[in-house]
Every structure is written in C-alpha cells, then in structure tokens.
Amino acid sequence: MLGAKLACVHRAGIPMIKAVAEAESPRGPFDATGRPEILFERHYVKRVVLIVAVPALFAACTSAEVAGAGLCASSETTFFACQTRQDKWISVCGSLPRTLQYRYGTSDRPELSFPQDASAGTQKLLYAHYFRAQTDRTEVTFNNGAVDYAVFDYTEDGTRIAGVRVTPSAGKETQVVCRGPVTSRLAQLKGALKCDPDNALNGSGCR
C-alpha cells in the first residue's frame, strides 16, 4: 500500500506536489511556533453548520417554546403549563382581562377545555392561596358538572409539586402530577379571579 502511494507521488511530479502545498498551506507547512498549519475549510464548515447545527438549534428552540407554552397559543399568556407522565399537557391560558381557560390533553387531541367559552373564564375559575414560612400553595379551581378540578402549585421546605387534582362528587380523587419543568404564573391571577370561599387554603374565608 505504501509503495503504491509513493509511486503515485512520483508520477505526479514535484510541480504538482508544490501546487497542492501552496494551495493547502499558503503560509508554509508550519507556523511561527513550529506547529503544523491547519487550513480553515470554509465550504466544509458551512455544510456542517447548515446540515447539523442549524436544524439542531431550531429543534432546541421549538422544544423550549412548546415546553414553556403547553397548550397555550403564542398570543396568550401561559399562566400554567406542564407535561404529565402520559405526555399530556395541563395548561391554564388566557389574555386577561378578556379570556382564561383550563386545557388538558395534547396539541392534536385536547380532552378538556374549560370553560368552552374562554371569555367566561374569569367568572368560572376561582383562586386560592396560602403562605407561611417554607410553604407556598396556590390553586385555581373550578367545577365542571359533578367533578371538581384544582390546578395546584405547592412548594414546601424546598420541594415543589404541581399538577391537577380531579375529584368527582361520587368517586375517588385523582391527582395528576407534573413531570419535568413547570411554567407557573398562577400568582398573577390573584385579583383577576374571584376567591374560592370553600377552599381550605383561603383559611377563614375570602377577604
């Protein structure tokens, strides 16, 4: 193999070898410190950027946006969003003071949107909050037929748990917990929503 390569070099001749050297190492084979010169291959780097780096960047940005927004539209504020272990979204979306809506499911298959008319959201959804040292609990609640819902975001002693609690009037309570990052701006709904008078978080009642 080495002999064949040497024969190829011999056939190419010194002028061709010099031409290649001048093109690939215009400043000489070594730099001032004696290190080999490395030619910057612009066309190759450009191809790598276009094929690999740019798509990866777009994918990362898209994932971040989706993760932050959940089922909320870009024109809406994401007051709450997280994914469940079943890869479904729990979201509270709106454009206050006009609209507010709870949404559950996936982007291509929403399972529940409440209220159906988002413009009634500030009247249908209720707010509850409790705070003391090392404890901060916030809920947005509503009743849909014979089922009570509570979107919750709790932090206690540095541990956070968030999700939605579903309680049918006759049946077992189910708690769907968030998996991964949680976007929560539930505290911004204080004042925009009516206080939930029956919620234990509000203590002795709404003031």
For residue range 175-194, list pLDDT tens digits in order: 999 999 999 999 999 999 99
Q: What is the pLDDT of residues 98-134, one digit of tens each?
A: 999 999 999 999 999 999 999 999 999 999 999 999 9
**Is 66's pLDDT higher than 80?**
no
> In the prediction, which pLDDT does 119 show?
97
This prediction's pTM? 0.67
The mean per-residue pLDDT over the stretch 141-159 comes to 96
Q: Is 157 left (phi over 0), alpha (psi -120 to 50) or beta?
A: left
The pair phi, psi for residue 23, each rounded to 5°, is -75, -40
Q: Are β-strands 174-184 and 110-114 bridged in parallel, bridged antiparallel, or unpaired?
A: unpaired
Contacts of 163 (CB under 8 A, 6+ apart): 82, 84, 90, 151, 152, 175, 176, 177, 178
> In the prediction, which pLDDT does 171 show?
84
Q: Which two tokens stand for residue 194?
A: 């009516």
**Mean pLDDT, all residues of the chain:** 82
